[in-house]
Amino acid sequence: MSLLHLRRARTSLVLDARGPGLPRVVHWGGDVGDLDDDGLRQLAAATVPPVVPSSFDAPTVLSLLPEASAGWSGRPALAGHRDRADWSTAFRLDGLDVDDPADDASPARVAVRASDPGAGLSLTVELTLDPTGLLVLRHRLRNDGDTPYELRELTPVLPVPAVATELLDLTGRWCRERSPQRHPWPMGTWVREGRHGRTGHDATLLLVAGTAGFGFGHGEVWAVHTAWSGDHVTLAERRPTGQATLGGGELLAPGEVVLGPGASYASPLLYAAWSDAGLDGLSDALHTHLRARPRHPRSPRPVTLNVWEAVYFDHDLDRLRALADQAAEVGVERFVLDDGWFRGRRADTAGLGDWYVDEDVWPDGLHPLVTHVTKLGLEFGLWVEPEMVNPDSDLFRAHPDWVLAAPGRMPPPWRNQQVLDLAHPEAYAYLLDRLDALLNENPGIGYLKWDHNRDLTEAGHRGRPGVHAQTEAVYRLLDELRRRHPAVEIESCASGGARVDLEILARTDRVWASDCNDALERLAIQRWTGLLLPPELVGSHIGPERSHTTHRVHDLGFRATTALFGHYGIEWDISSISPAERAELAAWVAAHKRLRPLLHGGRVVRVDHPDPAVWAHGVVAHDGSRAVYAVSRLATSVAEVPGPVRLPGLDPARRYAVRPAEGVPAPATVQRSEPGWLASGATLTGAALARVGLQAPALHPEQALLLEVTALD
């Protein structure tokens, strides 16, 4: 047993694993340099707190799983019992498996093995420090006893130093996902719970603790993400002992997980990131990590037309064919047929569960449309909502017992639907069979939009709490479908962005960030979704001129510039637009395609502008050769001309040409004359652009300027 120091990408993790108990996290944060054994011993000793009056007689230090037996009186990281015994543990360290290659491009891995023979439990803590500096950890608990052990909670936590005094997390609702909330970090526990049976519109993608006033480009920050698509908790705890932690895990209902003899439970993965370059530094580590995954989508993300807001349930072959023609004309590459194609689905009141093409609406099946679309050179995508069932469906009439419910009553309906119990083997087999058959019968389908339009409420499986098993079954179903149809991409949608987390993204290719296509709302939704996800994973569509969800009206330029920084698409009845609008739309699609390699591969930066009505963000190529930025005016300001906008992230020493994006119309402004540099562009160093910035034109509210930046040397 020893002191361990893992280092990657300017991040250090120091563990005191000298035993006899669980390892203590001596440090998680900025790199502490090359320390020899003595240096590590000194660091460990220097960070042990003193013993103060009215406290335990020995210092209390935080282990990887804080336990009452080691003096932890905060929120328990492990809770459970064996018929009311074995409710508290004192794990002893059994061994460590360390794999820490000298090569910084490989991850460092540690598995900590511990057991409490008295309680009949053993624990493995799996830790990976990724080459990006991202720390990923999970606890695995095994019941070594010969009677059942009921697990109530197993939540990995990590210590955060006292310099982190502010918290930022995200909340939200339908059409307003990822709304930030920020406050000083007080004593006590800040708990973000999601009990929706899905990740939730209000899920905080990250819980961030940081130094006072941290922003996108400055401040020292620590953050965690709980990767789980069922009930979950993410929390921050600060105690008068001086200890502070961030953590996250699954929320288990009473009796939900009972481990039989020899059985194990694994907590969700907890992703933990540190940066001394503000929130952008956190995103950088997360985005780089996600982009390195073997199955990360690497082909150009096809510009999509989704027909939902164009036709809703009004499926008519000729109309849809015409829409596909117009989509092809403006440069669309993927055509997605949304809700309404299957048996009985003429409105949102019936049909869910009957995954057969509706013979009345589609007498020749989907083939005529699929063939038309694919002949145009577009990929065909199809909407499904596999986990749901309408009581008005053949499936429900035949199998009312396949629904997640408490004994003797149905959960309150939501959008007229209930949830199928996927832990029921026959329900699972039916869904797998239907989805598999659809993909086999329509080989033109290259994409599924996988929706999930209600919370799980009183979700009982055979009389017992069922969310945990349901979440695992959904993962299994997705994994199996992907195994059978590896070329089919899947979008995670849940009434917009209610299923956005890194575990669903381990088996899907993008998320639908929100049902709100209003560009003003979308700016915020995308900015904060982008804290976790790189742009290519975030579906963002140009909606109609008047937003269907907010009734706001926006110019095409504002809608198109806002959607540009994601997986681009259109959700608009473009059959009704003028030739001039169509030409402009085609120009925006062309601009996106030209910028797409940069947008979907570069480093995301966001600007801390002093005027809250001015937002700017950009993507900078990793080699510093190019960048694209959008400057948006959200509202009017008292200062009619807000100060210059800094453009961060470029190579300070290189000279750059900055000019408004080519081939697309300029935004509307209030000025009498433009800033002089706009007409011919500006030539400035990366340092000048980051430190001084550029005076943007005085944009009207709800307008955006797109800037392209190219290195001259």
Tokens, residue 279: 């929130």
Nearer to ligand DGJ among residue 206 and residue 493 (C-beta): 493
Nearer to ligand DGJ among residue 214 and residue 383 (C-beta): 383
Q: How far apart are the first and last CA of the chain?
A: 53
Pairing outcome for strands 92-99 and 108-116:
antiparallel
d(CA 584, CA 562): 15
Tokens, residue 563: 């959607």
From the number of C-beta atoms within 10 Å of its C-beta (0-12, 13-18, 19+), residue 466 rates as buried
Cβ at position 214, least distance to ligand DGJ in Å: 33
From the number of C-beta atoms within 10 Å of its C-beta (0-12, 13-18, 19+), residue 245 rates as buried
d(CA 690, CA 675): 19
DSSP class of residue 484 equals H
Nearer to ligand DGJ among residue 78 and residue 382 (C-beta): 382
Q: For residue 705, list its beta bridge partners.
A: 631
Helix (H) or strand (E) holding 615: strand 614-620
Helix (H) or strand (E) holding 199: none
Q: What residues contact residue 50 under an 8 Å CB cut-off, 6+ apart?
A: 59
Q: Binding site annotation covers 493?
A: yes
Q: Binding site annotation covers 339?
A: yes
Cβ at position 315, least distance to ligand DGJ in Å: 12
Residue among 536, 537, 525, 501 at smallest CA distance from 225 = 501
Q: Binding site annotation covers 608?
A: no
Tokens, residue 565: 């920084």
Q: Binding site annotation covers 143?
A: no
Cβ at position 510, least distance to ligand DGJ in Å: 13
Q: Binding site annotation covers 174?
A: yes
Q: Is 451 part of the annotated catalytic residue set?
A: yes
Q: Binding site annotation covers 573?
A: no
Residue among 632, 461, 610, 647 at smallest CA distance from 557 = 632
Nearer to ligand DGJ among residue 358 and residue 515 (C-beta): 515
| Interface residues toward ligand DGJ, by CB under 6 A | 308, 338-339, 383, 451, 453, 493, 495-496, 512, 515
Helix (H) or strand (E) holding 40: helix 37-46
Q: Binding site annotation covers 450?
A: yes
d(CA 264, CA 250): 15
Cβ at position 396, least distance to ligand DGJ in Å: 18
Cβ at position 451, least distance to ligand DGJ in Å: 5
Nearer to ligand DGJ among residue 223 and residue 448 (C-beta): 448
Cβ at position 33, least distance to ligand DGJ in Å: 49
Nearer to ligand DGJ among residue 491 and residue 584 (C-beta): 491
Tokens, residue 434: 């239907």
- Answer whether 13's CB lies under 8 Å from 135's CB: yes
DSSP class of residue 669 equals B
Nearer to ligand DGJ among residue 280 and residue 515 (C-beta): 515
Q: What is the DSSP string of 53-70?
A: SSS-SS----BSS--GGG
Cβ at position 295, least distance to ligand DGJ in Å: 24
Phi, psi dihedrals of residue 589, rounded to the nearest 5°: -60, -40
Nearer to ligand DGJ among residue 495 and residue 562 (C-beta): 495
Cβ at position 513, least distance to ligand DGJ in Å: 10
d(CA 669, CA 642): 13
Q: For residue 179, list its beta bridge partners.
A: 171
User: Which one from 86, 169, 358, 451 is the annotated catalytic residue?
Assistant: 451
Q: How many CB atoms lie within 10 A of CB 447?
A: 22
Cβ at position 340, least distance to ligand DGJ in Å: 8
Cβ at position 449, least distance to ligand DGJ in Å: 6
- Answer whether 383's CB lies under 8 Å from 451's CB: yes
Tokens, residue 231: 């009930």
Tokens, residue 301: 């993300």
Q: Is 83 part of the annotated catalytic residue set?
A: no
CA distances from 129 to 64, 208, 625, 630 (A): 15, 19, 30, 34
d(CA 344, CA 356): 10
Tokens, residue 332: 């669309």
Which residue has the closest beta carbon to ligand DGJ? 339
Nearer to ligand DGJ among residue 383 and residue 528 (C-beta): 383
Q: Binding site annotation covers 416?
A: no
User: Which one from 358, 501, 515, 518 is the annotated catalytic residue?
Assistant: 515
* CA-derived radius of gyration, the chain: 27
- Answer whether 693's CB lies under 8 Å from 674's CB: no
d(CA 540, CA 560): 10
Nearer to ligand DGJ among residue 23 and residue 496 (C-beta): 496
Q: Binding site annotation covers 338?
A: yes
| Sequence ranges of the binding site | 174, 338-339, 415, 449-453, 493, 515
Binding-site residue numbers for substrate are: 174, 338-339, 415, 449-453, 493, 515
Which are the catalytic amino acids?
Answer: 451, 515
